[in-house]
Structure 1
Amino acid sequence: MYLTEANVADITKKQYKYKMNAYLNALTAMIAVQIAALSLSLMGVGSMGAHSENISLSAKLFSSNLVIGFTMIWGLYIGVTMTTRVYRNCDFTFVTNRLTSNVSNILFLITASVIGGVTSMLSGMLLRVGMYFYYDHQFIINEVITLGQLFNGTFVAILYILLLASVGYFVGTLSQLHSMIKIVLPILIFGGLFLGAGNDGIAAAAIQFYIGETTLYLFILKVILTSIALFIASLFVSNRLEVR
C-alpha cells in the first residue's frame, strides 16, 4: 500500500515538473497579455473633469486592475486549455492514470496562478514608472502602498486567478462528456452574465458573492472552498470519462 502511494506521488511530481517545462508557452502568453494590458493602462482606466469660467480641470485614474483582469481571463482560458486533447496527450509520456494527471494539472494551475498574481501586482510598480516618464511627474498624485497592502493585494489577485482557473478546468472537463456541452455551457454562462447584469439574477448574485465580500478571511475561505470543490468535481467527471 505504501509503495503504491509513493509511486503515485513520484509520478505526480514528475508530471508536474514536466508540465512546468512543457507549458512555458502558456506562461509566456500570460506575460504578453499583461504587457498588452499594461500598455492600455498607460492611457488611464478612468477619468473625470470639472469646468468653470476660467478654470478647466481634468484627471485620469491609473491602476493595475486592467492587468489583473486580463490575467484572470488568461487563467480561465488556460484552465479550459489544460483539458483539451493536445494537453491530455502529453501525459502519455509517463505511466499515468486520471488521478496523477489531474493532480499534476491542478498543481500547475496553482503555480501559474501564483506567478500571474505576483507579476500582475508588480506591474502596478512598472505602471508608476511609466507614468513618471510618460506624463509630467509634477502633476502626478501617488497613493502610497504599504508592504502589507501589497502582500494582501497580491494574495487576493492570486485567489481570483485560481478561482477562474478552477472554473475553466471544471468547464473544460465537463465539456468532454458530450460534444454539445461545449456549445451549451458557454451560452448558459455568458447568457447568465448578460441577463443577470444590473439585477438580482443568479449570475450577478454569484459574482457579488465573491467581489462583494469585504472581510479578507471570509473571501479567502470562499475562494479556496469553491476552487477545491470545482477541482474535486473535475476529478469525478474525469473518472466518469475513464469508465466510458
Structure 2
Amino acid sequence: MSFIEVNEWKAAKKQFFYKLTAYKGFFISLFIAQFVALVFSYGGGMHTSISVDLVSLTVSFYSGDMLFGFTLIWAFIVAAKLTSENYRNNDFSFVSTRISSNLSNIALIATLSFVGSVTSLMAGVLLRVIVYFTTDIGMIYGKNYLLSPPELLTGIYAAFLYLALVCAAGYLIGAVVQMHKVLIVLVPAVLFGLVSYELTKFGTIRWVEYFTSEGSLLMFTLKVISAVLIFFAGALVLSNRLEVRR
C-alpha cells in the first residue's frame, strides 16, 4: 500500500476506465452467451402437436427467457470473478485502496448490467424478427409479439435491476469464497442445500419469489436497491479483511 494520500473517487474513476478496456473479454463472453442462447431459443423452441381426425396441428413456442437466463448466469460469474486474487492484484497498478477498488468494480458491474439488459432485450427482438421472416406471418400468434417503445424501455429497466441484483449477489459470494479455500466448496454446497430445502418444503424458492412475484415496479425497485446495497456493503467489509496482497 502506498503512503501517498489517495483521493478515493479519482482513483476509482481511473480504475474503472482501465477495467472497461482491460476486461473487454467480459463483453465478448456476453455476446457469445447470448448468441448461443439465441440459437437454442430459435432451434430448440417447445413444440406441441395436436391431431384431430385427419387434421394435425403443430404449435411452436418461442421465448426470450433462455436469452435472459444465459445473461443472468454470465452476470453472476463475471461479478464473482472480479473478487478473485488475479483481478484484485490488477488494482495495484494504481495508487489505490480497497474502497476505490470496490467502487470501480461496482461501477463496472453497473455498466455490465446495463449493457446486458439492453443486449438481452434486443436479442429478444431479433428472435422475433427471425421468426417473422422464417414463418408464415398468418400463422404467428402472440399477445406480446410486438413491443411498444414504453414496454421495451420498461423491460430494459427491469432486466437491469435483475442483473444488478444477481451481480451484487455474485460479488458478495465471491468475496466470501476468497476468505478461505474451503469455502469454495462449502458455499456452493450450502446454497444448493438451501435451494433443495426450499423446493422440497415449499415447492418454490421464497427468497427468489420475493423479487420475481412483485407486481409494483416501484416496490420492485426498492427491494432490489436495498438488497444490492446490503450485498455490496457486505462484500466491502469482507474485502477489507483480506490481506493487502497475497
Query: Normalized against structure 2, the TM-score is what?
Result: 0.91
Contact 1:38 1:127 in 2 (8 A): yes
Counterpart residue number, 2:177: 175
Within 5 A, what are the aligned runs for 1:149-228?
149-197=151-199, 199-200=201-202, 204-228=205-229
* Aligned alpha-carbon RMSD (Å): 2.0
Which blocks of at least 5 consecutive residues in structure 2 are unaligned?
none
Percent of aligned pairs sharing the same letter: 34
> Is the alpha carbon distance of 1:240 and 1:50 closer, same or farther for their aligned partners in structure 2, counting shifts above 3 Å?
same
Aligned length: 240
Aligned partners of 2:244 and 2:17: how far apart in 1? 28
Indicate the larger mover: 27-36 or 190-199. 190-199
Equivalent residue number for residue 234 of structure 2: 233
> Does the CA-based 8 Å contact 1:198-1:204 persist in structure 2?
no
Once the two structures are superposed, the pairs formed by residues 13-28 of structure 1 within 5 Å of their partners are 13-28=13-28
1:106-121 aligned at under 5 Å gives the runs 106-121=106-121
Say which SS state the counterpart of residue 60 (structure 1) adopts.
strand
Deviations 1:186-235 (A, max 9, x none): 0111232233226427x711111111111111111111110111001111
Structure 1: state its 5+ residue gaps.
none
Give the SS at the match of 1:42: helix
TM-score computed with the length of structure 1 as normaliser:
0.92
Quickly say closer, same or farther: Cα 1:176–1:6, change in 2 above 3 A: closer
Distance in 2 (CA, whole Å) between partners of 1:79 and 1:195 is 26
Shift of 1:93: 0.8
CA distance in 1, matches of 2:218, 2:202: 25
For structure 1, which segment, 44-53 or 113-122, has the greater mean C-alpha deviation from structure 2 after superposition? Answer: 44-53
Structure 2 Cα separation of the partners of residues 87 and 50 of structure 1: 54
1:38 aligns with 2:38: yes
Partner SS, residue 183 of structure 1:
helix
Residues 129-148 of structure 1: matches in 2 within 5 Å?
129-142=129-142, 143-148=145-150
SS of alignment partner, residue 241 of structure 1: coil
SS at match of 1:197: helix
Distance 1:52 1:192 in 2: 46
Contact 2:16 2:104 (C-alpha < 8 Å) held by counterparts? yes
The residue identity in structure 2 corresponding to 1:85 is E
Q: Which whole-Å CA distance do the structure 1 matches of 2:83 and 2:102 have between them? A: 9
